[in-house]
């Protein structure tokens, strides 16, 4: 009688448990990767594709009781909406906030606006633009 263990022929009795686990991990990784790509595509479409109005503060000039703001708005033709702008004092407190409306068929609008403030404002920050 021999004490040495006998080797089974390779491939005769199916896959080993390690091979099955590797295959399952590859499948799970592929499925999760595809879901991640779909999720990124969904958010990209809604962020870029559905954005009908956007704006940018080009320059601003603070005055004693107001801030003069040069705002550029880009929008789809015929889309109406508004942009919200705020101003803060040197200590960070909010001293002014207003919504400025935009309508019409123009796709690019450049306007100089005046935001009234309760104290001298040191900033002009665009909080966002939204379509109606």
pLDDT tens readout for residues 28-37: 999 999 999 9
37 & 66 share domain: no
Which domain CATH number covers 125?
A: 2.60.40
Confirm whether pTM is higher than 0.75.
no
Is 60 domain-assigned?
A: yes
Q: Given phi > 0 = left and psi -120 to 50 = alpha, else beta, which region is 35?
A: alpha
Is 6 domain-assigned?
A: no
pLDDT tens readout for residues 3-30: 556 676 666 666 666 777 888 899 999 9
Is 5 domain-assigned?
A: no
35 & 68 share domain: no
What's the number of domains the chain is made of? 2
pLDDT at 45: 78
Give the whole-angstrom CA distance, residue 35 versus residue 14: 32
């Amino acid at each position: 009688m021999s004490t040495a263990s006998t080797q089974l022929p390779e491939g005769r009795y199916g896959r080993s448990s390690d091979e099955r686990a590797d295959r399952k991990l590859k499948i799970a990784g592929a499925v999760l990767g595809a879901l991640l790509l779909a999720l990124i595509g969904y958010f990209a479409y809604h962020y870029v594709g559905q954005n009908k109005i956007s704006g940018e503060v080009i320059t601003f000039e603070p005055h004693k009781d107001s801030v003069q703001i040069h705002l550029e708005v880009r929008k789809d033709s015929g889309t109406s909406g508004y942009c919200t702008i705020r101003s803060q004092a040197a200590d960070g407190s909010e001293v002014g906030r207003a919504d400025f409306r935009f309508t019409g068929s123009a796709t690019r609008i450049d306007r100089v606006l005046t935001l009234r403030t309760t104290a001298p404002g040191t900033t002009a920050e665009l909080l966002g633009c939204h379509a109606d």
